[in-house]
Amino acid sequence: MSQILVVDDEIGIRELLSEILADEGHSVQLAENAERARALRGAERPDLVLLDIWMPDTDGITLLKEWAANGQLTMPVVMMSGHGTIETAVEATRIGAIDFLEKPITLQKLLATVKRALRDGGGQTQIGLTLLSLGRSAVIADLRKRLAQIATLSMPVLLRGEPGVMPELFARYLHQPNTPWVVAGAALADAPQELLAASAGGLIFVEELATLTRAQQKNLAFILGKQEKAKSRLISFTAEEPARLAADFGFDAALLARLSELSLALPALREHAEDIPDIASILLAQLVEARNCPPRHFSTAALNALRQFHWPGNLQDLQGAVKNLALTALEEEIGATEVERVSAQFHPAASTQAAPPLELPLELPLREAREAFERAYFEQLLAREAGSIARVAEKSGLERTHLYRKLKALGITASKKEE
């Protein structure tokens, strides 16, 4: 017996679906809006969600995005709509929905879809980070728009960035739903035909061009020449400068030129540091939900310390640090001292208390430069005073109410810690 959550603002549809699914032996929970759906999803952890798109408070697509961004899309979701479009269905499946039911829903279609979703959904649920969970900064929002704009093109794309930026997250955003996703891997060395066949209609991802041997490059050129016929798309990544790829790694210059017809730069974590608290909280929540660690949460001081750290290995380092903290912290609340202990392992020469010297943003207009300075000033002060608003207020000479307003305006997370 499976537990199914039905989310629909129409009482008739909720009751009808509940009756049908209960007759099939399932346990059914009902939600009339997104608020109730959030509560039931958190409390019951359903095996499947049937989610209506059009609801009065928060629509189904927005709720689906919210679950994906918060790391809560750990169950298959089937969208339902009486006036859905192909574009809406594609958007929903890209976010993480496993299927789409058009109203009025026939009994046969409902039962077949539920059976398939329960059977196959476990392998398609989103565990770990996705591009939707990388935050709300302007940098990430801009990149999402650019990726969405080129998602339906067939030409190869070269992603470039520093080590640890997790290029697969961005490549998956270019992957069309319900089509093959193939990581080139070892098959690129000796089975290019099989690799091409496996990826037909889908996407091939090459994790790092600098590691490819001459033989692998030759096979990659073969795939590149056949991909249009196979209706597959090639996405590759490198952390090296293109000139160095040819000069120092012996990469074929002509092949590189073909792979980089379309090139996108992936941001380093420090370029959207304001997203770090949200990303870290999502990673920790996923570990707790998967029962890989005891209940844990970050203190405000810990989140500010994570944001202030340089993270030389970018997202990969942050993910490793959060897992380390989740498994080795001694208390349920993870504090700034624990963050300093773990972050030093990723860069012994650095610490959250010894940030790189502040570069004054003299090229900015006065208002923006002042905001940048104030943000850095208060972040360092919060970290140094372990998140104590009382001590930060005293050190900065601001009254506490004014200080809270200032921190909120600067986008800095602050607790009500008074000691």
Task: Check residue 122 and give its pLDDT.
Answer: 55
Q: Report DSSP letters for 98-147, one per residue.
A: -EEEESSPPHHHHHHHHHHHHHHGGGTS--S--GGGS-S-HHHHHHHHHH
Residue 46: predicted pLDDT? 93
Average pLDDT for 169-183? 89
pLDDT of residue 92: 85
Give residue 123's pLDDT. 46
- pLDDT above 90: residue 325: yes
CA distances from 347 to 57, 176, 340, 355 (A): 46, 38, 11, 12
Confidence of residue 419 (pLDDT cuts 50, 70, 90): very low
pLDDT of residue 353: 43
Helix boundaries (H) for 241-313:
242-249, 253-259, 276-289, 300-308
Whole-angstrom CA distances from 241 to 43, 285, 312 are 48, 36, 18
Q: Which phi and psi (to 5°) does residue 86 adopt?
A: -60, -40
Give Cα 196 to chain centroid, integer Å.
28
Contact 143, 275 (CB under 8 A): no
At 358, the pLDDT band (50, 70, 90 cuts) reads: low
pLDDT the model gives residue 405: 82
**pLDDT category, 352, cuts 50, 70, 90?**
very low
Phi, psi of 6, deg, nearest 5:
-105, 120
Mean pLDDT of 71-95: 82
- Phi and psi at residue 253, in whole multiples of 5°? -65, -40
Mean pLDDT, the chain, rounded, equals 87
- pLDDT on residue 350: 46
Taking residue 264's Cβ as centre, other Cβ atoms within 10 Å add up to 18
pLDDT grade for 260, boundaries at 50, 70 and 90: very high
Residue 249 has pLDDT above 50, yes or no: yes
Tokens 């890209």, located at residue: 94
* Residue in the block written with tokens 């012996």: 250
Higher pLDDT, 129 or 60: 60
Q: Is residue 124 over pLDDT 90? A: no
What pLDDT does 242 receive?
86
Using CA atoms in the order 132, 138, 143, 149, what is the torsion angle rounded to 10 degrees?
Answer: 90
Q: Is the pLDDT of residue 215 over 50?
A: yes
Tokens of 43: 């409390």
List the domains of the chain with CATH numbers. 3-123 (3.40.50.2300), 133-267 (3.40.50.300), 272-419 (1.10.8.60)
For 64, the token pair is 């689906």
Q: What pLDDT was estimated at residue 286?
A: 85
Report the percent of the chain where pLDDT is more than 70. Answer: 92
**281-299 mean pLDDT:** 89
Average pLDDT over residues 214-220: 93
Give Cβ neighbours of residue 227 (< 8 Å, ≥ 6 apart): 154, 156, 196, 204, 233, 234
> For 346, phi and psi rounded to 5 degrees?
-90, -20
Of the listed ranges 40-49, 114-123, 225-234, the one predicted with least confidence: 114-123
Residue keyed to tokens 């859905």: 84
Cβ contact 166:315 at 8 Å: yes
Q: Which residues contact 116 (CB under 8 A, 6 or more apart)?
A: 99
* 13-17, 129-133, 328-332: the lowest-pLDDT one: 129-133
Residues 6+ positions from 190 with CB-CB distance below 8 Å: none
Region of residue 185 (left: phi > 0; alpha: psi -120 to 50; beta: else): left
Residue 99 backbone dihedrals phi, psi, to 5 degrees: -165, 175
Show Cβ contacts of residue 59 under 8 Å, excluding neighbours closer than 6 positions: 34, 53
DSSP state of 273: G
Element (H, E) at 269: none
The token pair that represents 323 in the structure block: 């897992």
For residue 336, pLDDT beyond 70: yes
Q: Which of 8, 96, 114 is nearest to 60 (CA)?
A: 8
Q: Which pLDDT band, with edges at 50, 70 and 90, does 415 fall under?
A: low
The whole-number average pLDDT for the span 339-367 is 67
Question: Span 10-19, mean pLDDT?
Answer: 94
pLDDT given at position 190: 84
Mean pLDDT of 138-160: 93
Q: Mean per-residue pLDDT for 128-137?
A: 83
Mean predicted confidence (pLDDT) in 380-404? 79
